[in-house]
Amino acid sequence: MNTTARERATPFKVVAVNLFVFFALIGALLSAVVILNAALALLAAVRSDDERARTPNYANIPWAEQHFKEFRSLKTEYYSYIGWRRKPYSGQTITVAGPYGERKTAPEGRSDRPLVYFFGGSTMWGTGVDDASTIPSVFARETGVRARNFGESGYTAHQSLEMLLRLLQDGHRPDIVVFYDGVNEVATKCRSELGPHSTSEEKRFRTQLDAGVGTLSFYLLPIRDLLQWAIWEVRGQPARGYDCDANAEKAAAVRSALIHDWQIARTAAESLGIRFVAVLQPVSTFSQTEKRYLPKDAALEKQYLSVYPRLQEMAAKHGFGSLVGALDIREPVYVDFWHLSPNGNAIIARRLAEILQPVLAQAGRAARP
C-alpha cells in the first residue's frame, strides 16, 4: 500500500517539533542563566556592607559608607600560583595600582629610607579603612620608612609566600619583609571541604572544572550561586561547616603549614640579605575589647579556640612574633570577626613598629639607595 504525502510528512513534523522544543528549552535555559547572572550582579551592587559602616567604630568617620560601597565594586584577576589579585581601581577611599595589584600606601617616604614589604590577608590589605589608614600606611608615617602593601583579601601565608617568591624572581630587594597571618589559615583551611594546603577558592575551582566549560551543568552554576547567596542572607554566614575543632590531626596540620610557610619565606628572604619578620595576627575571639555589637559565629570561634593557643606557642618557639593580645583595650576596634577600623590598624602598626625597631635600626644603617 502506498503511503500518502501526509503520512510521509508526519515523521518529519515530529522531528521538527521535537527539535523546536529542544532548542526552545536550551534558549530558555540560556536566557534564564543570563537573567540570573544579571540578578546576581544587581544583588551584589545593591547589597551593602553598611552594617559595618554603622558600627560605633565609625561614629566620627564620614567616609565609612563610601568605603564599603567602593569595596563592593572591586574586581579581581586570577594568576597562576598566587591566585587572585585586585584589578586597578581609583576611588575616594581605595586605590589599587601597579603590576601586582597593590593597595596604595601613603606617604611613600624618602628614597634613602629603609623599604618594607608587607604581606597578609584582607586585614593587611585594609578592609574597613581608607588608603591612609591601612597598617602599612600608618607604619610608614610612624617610622618614616617606605612601605608597600602586598596584602590581598583571603590570602593565606602560602599565597603570600608565592607572591614573595615572584617579587624576588622579578628582582625586588626590600630591606625588610613582614608577614602578618593567622586569621585566614583558620577561616579557610578549617572549612570541612578544604585542607591544610587549600586556598579559599579551591572547591569552587574544582567544581567548575569538573562541570566542564560548555556543558549544561556549567551553565547551571549561577543557579547554585544564587541559592548560596540566599542562604548567606538568611543565615547571615556562609553555608559551610568547619572541622578543626573535631579533627585534631587537621588542626595540627593547619598550624604546621603556617609555621613552615613562614620558615621558607624567612630562608628565601635572608638568603638575599633581606630581614624577615612574621607575626600572628589578633582575632576578636581572643581580644578583650568591646564586641557586643559584633555578630556571633560560634562554629568559627571553635576553630580559633582549637588552633590559635598552640599556634602561639609554636610561633614563639620558632622565633616568630604574636600580636594576639594587642587589642585588649576598651574602645571598639573590630568591624566584624577580624577586620579593624582605623583605630585598630593604628594600634597594630605601632606594635609592629616596636617589634621591628631593632631591625629598622640595622636596616637604616645599611639602607639601599
Spans of the chain, pLDDT less than 50: 48-49, 216, 232-233, 235-239, 368-369
Cα 32 to its chain centre, rounded Å, is 31
The predicted-structure confidence for 49-104, as pLDDT tens digits, reads as follows: 468 999 999 999 999 999 999 999 999 999 999 999 999 999 999 999 989 999 99
pLDDT of the residue at 95 = 97
Cα–Cα dist 49/71, whole Å: 9
CA distances from residue 40 to 55, 75, 215, 221, 226 in whole angstroms, order as listed: 27, 15, 21, 12, 7
pLDDT of the residue at 171 = 97
Cα–Cα dist 90/93, whole Å: 8
**Residue 181 phi, psi dihedral angles, 5° rounding:** -135, 175
pLDDT of the residue at 369 = 40
pLDDT of the residue at 300 = 95
Q: Which domains does the chain have, with CATH numbers?
A: 52-192+241-365 (3.40.50.1110)
Bond prior to 222 in cis (omega within 30° of 0):
no
**Residue 45 phi, psi dihedral angles, 5° rounding:** -75, -40
pLDDT of the residue at 110 = 77
pLDDT of the residue at 223 = 60
pLDDT of the residue at 21 = 65
Contact 70, 103 (CB under 8 A): no
Contact 68, 126 (CB under 8 A): no
**230 residue type, one letter:** A
The predicted-structure confidence for 292-335, as pLDDT tens digits, reads as follows: 999 989 999 999 999 999 999 999 999 999 999 999 999 999 99
Vertex 122 angle, CA 320 and 82, to 5°: 80
pLDDT of the residue at 112 = 82
pLDDT of the residue at 31 = 60
Crossing angle (nearest 10°) for helices 248-270 and 157-169 = 20
Cα–Cα dist 93/14, whole Å: 62
**Which residues lie across from 90 on neighbouring strands?**
95
pTM: 0.82
**76 residue type, one letter:** T
**Terminal Cα-to-Cα distance of the chain (whole angstroms):** 100
Cα–Cα dist 129/70, whole Å: 11
Cα–Cα dist 35/43, whole Å: 12
